[in-house]
Structure 1
Amino acid sequence: MFSLNGIAVAAVTPFDRNGIFEEKPFRVLLDWWLGQGVHGMVICGSTGEVAYLNHPERQRIFEVAVEHIDRRVPVIAGTGFASTNETIEMTKTAAQIGVDAALVITPFYYPVSQKLLFEHYKKVASTSKTPVLLYNNPQVTHVKLEAETVAELSKVENIVGIKDSAGDWALLEKILKLTDEAFIVFSGSLKLLPAALDAGADGGILAIASVAPGLCVELYRLCKQGQPKEASALHEQLKVLIQGLNETYGISGLKTAIKLLGLPAEYPRMPLLPLSASEEQSVQKTLQQLNLLAIKS
């Protein structure tokens, strides 16, 4: 039975300047994140530029991650596509490789009703040999899983949890109230993480953990150990980091920050572009403001 509590990194995917996946830098990043004490690894998610990765590319990234992590922490693989059939095939591939769970984003492009979402996930889960996590990220898909639909899906065999990145506290709170304690709930929003943990969520799958994994793990620890004052202070620092990186510059901002930390992740895949010199200086200033350039090791 799949279980995970704590902070999972929403991993970036390193590319060279031509947009080719780089295995060696990816292994370096995996080791760094693991060394910072994270509890899980999410690969080929939104932060990993999954929308620009085809089936063979995802397969290779899954293979590298599973082999390199070697059961040190759970590996969660993003297997969702716009179509149900492609999602099923990618999820089957991920299971064969040995991932611990599949993170399946809602179908996108065409409007989809809650009934169709239920049928989509039911079909994926029934054909998968690995546990399935729902993934709600309406900012990028323009499709929203309602709490009532999540509650119904939580009763479907092999659907074990959800990553909710809607950033809507009322929705996340309702999901927590309508699902059983055994159903795993991750916040995809750092801003909502302390409140989510207090309400019974299991942890966070966070993009900012790709830049500041140790601080995210510490925030989780402080929240769980009942140190609200210290947790609030650290939470405010991390919100400044989010504002200066991904909220302003997106994935390119995260990758630039990682590069400035002396780690190998610089180039996004087109149509995303690297930051300009002035934008990179802005990212550097944010890192310096939080003394992050001194704690890269």
Structure 2
Amino acid sequence: MTLEKFKGIIPAFYACYDEAGEISEDRTKDLCNYLFEKGVKGLYVGGSSGECIYHNLEERKATLKYVAEAVKGRLTLIAHVGAPSTRDSVILAQYAEELGYDALSAIPPIYFSLPESSIYKYWTEIMESAELPFIIYNIPQTTGYNLSMNLFKRMLENKKVIGVKNSSMPAMDIERFKAAAGENFIVFNGPDEQYVAGRVIGADSGIGGTYAAMPELLLKAEEFVSTGNFEQARSIQRDINDIIIALCSLNGSMYSTIKEVLKLRGVNVGSVRGPLEPVHGEDLSKIAGIKELIDTAILKYSR
């Protein structure tokens, strides 16, 4: 299969709620169309940014369905199907395949500290349940497990494994995974704070939780890297990082801050689900300033 469809800016999709805090079909599709119009390559649906661990099975299936209805065939769609149980992960994998998703992805099992043999079995059972290609998701800061080279190489023996979304902070991990897997394999940069560094050291693409807040800037960063304009690439990464620091500076979850920013950008996707905390109090008055940071950076690089 061609891997070109997976190369580009792929925002991690946010959970979209109505005013009662339930999954909203209309708001999910609004966000899909907004990102499509911005020019992103695809969407990573149902991952950390999608608050997946706070959704039941039917809610996760609903989001997968609404996204597919909105942009299937127009954007590359990757379904994150990692769940606390293998059973639920398999159900989500099979449902994503029915909906026409382009690939599956999953974090390792969470909560219990499991041996690598269990992680391998978990990922393998997901892959065996559907015919879609599979993307490993390595995010040790939330799962407590950092993908080892031994397990990575073992996973590569399965031809369905086409990529790894690497969200560990050392950029060297990206280089090592790319060196081990070769060119016919996609390494996705995970940490948004190092998008440029990740691309330069070997990442083919990027999936990130702040992309949808400022897709114009990530698209421009990719343009600078892919054309070899590294001075501008370094400059835009500094501006992106200033924005990320601002997004993480308020009370509440970073995602609640992003969603407040999106409201000012014309897309209402609701708030966040507890125990994630919404932005509140005096911090609400700071949202406009963060939006201004984004707007100023967009203008700076559009000249």
TM-score range, shorter chain: over 0.9
In the alignment, structure 2 segments of 5+ residues that lack a partner are: none
The 5 Å alignment of 1:89-100 reads: 89-100=91-102
2:8 to 6, 9, 23: 6
Residue type at the aligned position of 1:209: Y
Deviation at 1:286, TM superposition (A): 2.2
Residue type at the aligned position of 1:150: F
Indicate if the aligned counterparts of 1:261 and 1:293 stay in contact, CA closer than 8 A: no
2:256 to 252, 255, 273: 252
Deviation at 1:264, TM superposition (A): 0.9
Find out whether 1:235 has 2:222 as its counterpart: no
Can you list the C-alpha shifts for 1:166-198, whole angstroms capped at 9, x where unaligned? 122232221122112111110111222212212
C-alpha separation between the residues in 2 aligned to 1:201 and 1:292? 28
Indicate if the aligned counterparts of 1:5 and 1:39 stay in contact, CA closer than 8 A: yes
Can you list the C-alpha shifts for 1:125-172, whole angstroms capped at 9, x where unaligned? 122221111111122211221233222212213111111111222322
User: Could you say which residue in structure 1 is the equivalent of 2:285?
Assistant: 281
Can you list the C-alpha shifts for 1:55-86, whole angstroms capped at 9, x where unaligned? 11111111111111031111111111122222
Indicate if the aligned counterparts of 1:125 and 1:157 stay in contact, CA closer than 8 A: no
User: Could you say which residue in structure 2 is the equivalent of 1:214?
Assistant: 216
Indicate if the aligned counterparts of 1:7 and 1:38 stay in contact, CA closer than 8 A: yes
Indicate if the aligned counterparts of 1:10 and 1:205 stay in contact, CA closer than 8 A: yes
In the alignment, structure 1 segments of 5+ residues that lack a partner are: none
User: Could you say which residue in structure 2 is the equivalent of 1:21?
Assistant: 23
Residue type at the aligned position of 2:167: S
Residue type at the aligned position of 2:12: A
Deviation at 1:294, TM superposition (A): 8.4
Find out whether 1:68 has 2:70 as its counterpart: yes
1:164 to 163, 166, 179: 166
CA gap 1:135/1:246 in 2 versus in 1, 3 angstroms? farther
C-alpha separation between the residues in 1 aligned to 2:280 and 2:137? 32
Can you list the C-alpha shifts for 1:191-219, whole angstroms capped at 9, x where unaligned? 22212212231111011111001111110
2:275 to 263, 271, 291: 271
Residue type at the aligned position of 1:224: S
Deviation at 1:246, TM superposition (A): 4.1
User: Could you say which residue in structure 2 is the equivalent of 1:137?
Assistant: 139
Residue type at the aligned position of 1:13: A
User: Could you say which residue in structure 2 is the equivalent of 1:55?
Assistant: 57
Deviation at 1:260, TM superposition (A): 2.1
SS at match of 2:193: coil
Residue type at the aligned position of 2:266: G
TM-score by length of 2: 0.91
